Amino acid sequence: MSATVAVIGAGVIGRTHIRILRELPADEGRLAAIVDPSEAAARLAVEAGVPHFLDADTMLDAVRPDGVVIATPNALHVAGARACIGRGIAVLVEKPLADDLDDALALAGEADHAGVPLLVGHYRRHNPLVQAARTAIQQGRLGRIATISADSMVMKPDSYFNVAWRREAGGGPVLINLVHDIDALRYLCGEIDTVQAVTGHAARGFAVEDSAAVLLRFRTGALATLTLSDAVPSPWCWDQTAGENPAFVRHPGNAYRICGTEASLEMPDMALWRYAGRRGWSEPLTREVLDVRRCDPLVAQMRHFLRVIRREEAPLVSGHDGAATLAATLAVHRSAKTGEAVRPYAP
Ligand SMILES: NC(=O)c1ccc[n+]([C@@H]2O[C@H](COP(=O)([O-])OP(=O)(O)OC[C@H]3O[C@@H](n4cnc5c(N)ncnc54)[C@H](O)[C@@H]3O)[C@@H](O)[C@H]2O)c1
């Protein structure tokens, strides 16, 4: 059964969702409407042959879509999602779920209470590379995870910072980029027990951070270091090595190293390092590359959302999940400010 989906917010990511919906087979799902006050969105709706609305409530009552994608600026996520949940309409909310942890938790609770599916747009979980790594970890192929090192080092172009909010607190790479790595690591390694961090802004000199070094301790005892910067020429980040987003040039290299007592996995090249014979640092390691069929994780996310709408699957990233990832990400800022380890909310 085909499901109808409206998109609220037709900016950078909203247009990607719109394109994906338009390219899907009609018997799977189709774009029903676009809500966005901009003239560019009105033109896009004409091109797509769907009605255009200036506000969400009017669209929801007039069109009654089966599902809605909320791709507005962060501050509007909660109000948009509430309008859908109140009408019993399944919703995919872009990350971060909310600006604030209390709002995120309240929204997650409302969706549960109403029995309306809420999916958070942490699309990296839909990447087959991430899913294959999770399966390998859950099958015990890595043994007990001891350490994880994750890199997120890029150079954002100077023009990126022409927009004022990107130079101010909250507009930096912790909440915009690191949130994806934290969510992926939670998906792979489980709940985070404590977060410690230092942040710096010396590279660009803006009020917002441009770099951070983060330590995570997982409930399992696994320890992670995350290194983040948006002011350095480097291929070592997920976006530039995984090849999942055509907006980024793909370079060889890895973003994550997950090291267990039986084997260690590099991602995204999916090389598994282990001893085939005797163990010990004088012995040769073998390198086996896990065979994974790649796909566009944003398309996989939309297909999952359509199954969620039809109640065939539960959301892969629930509201409580989105809240926990937000909590751990906000904890980076709190720890950097106080110098103390922070224990974030976990479901
Ligand atoms: N999953 C990802 O990798 C990813 C990537 C980019 C952005 N995002 C998230 O998506 C959201 C949007 O980011 P963006 O980069 O597309 O921003 P953007 O500024 O390009 O687009 C936002 C759009 O929302 C519209 N809008 C503003 N107020 C509105 C309202 N009241 N009703 C309807 N539309 C309204 C704007 O006109 C604009 O077109 C953010 O929460 C961001 O964090 C996620």
pLDDT for 248-303, tens place per residue?
A: 999 999 999 999 999 999 999 999 999 999 999 999 999 999 999 989 999 999 99
Query: Does residue 306 carry a pLDDT above 90?
Result: yes
> Side chain identity at 123, as an amino acid letter?
Y
How far does residue 172's CA lie from ligand 1's centre (Å)? Answer: 16
Give the mean model confidence (pLDDT) for residues 21-36. Answer: 96
Mutation test of ligand 1: which of 7, 16, 36 has the most ligand atoms closer than 8 Å to its C-beta? 36
Query: What was the pLDDT predicted at 268?
Result: 97
Q: Yes or no: say if 243 and 250 are a contact pair by the CB < 8 Å rule.
A: yes
Q: Which residues contact 321 (CB under 8 A, 6 or more apart)?
A: 120, 122, 183, 186, 347
Residue for token digits 């977060």? Answer: 195
CA 145 to chain centre: 22
Amino acid 315: pLDDT: 98
pLDDT at 103 over 90: yes
CA atoms of 126 and 317, how far apart (whole Å): 10
Q: How far is CA 317 from the centre of its chain?
A: 9
| Cβ burial, residue 36 (10 Å; 0-12/13-18/19+) | buried
Ligand 1 first shell, C-beta below 6 A = 8-14, 35-38, 56, 71-74, 76, 94-95, 121, 123
pLDDT of 149 strictly over 90: yes
- Split at pLDDT 50, 70, 90, the class of 228 is very high
pLDDT at 165 over 90: no
Q: Are 45 and 52 in contact (CB under 8 A)?
A: yes
**How far apart, in whole angstroms, are the C-alpha atoms of residue 79 and residue 14?**
17
CA-CA distance, 9 to 34, in Å (whole number)? 7
Ligand 1 centroid – CA 7 distance (Å): 11
pLDDT at 61 exceeding the cut of 90? yes
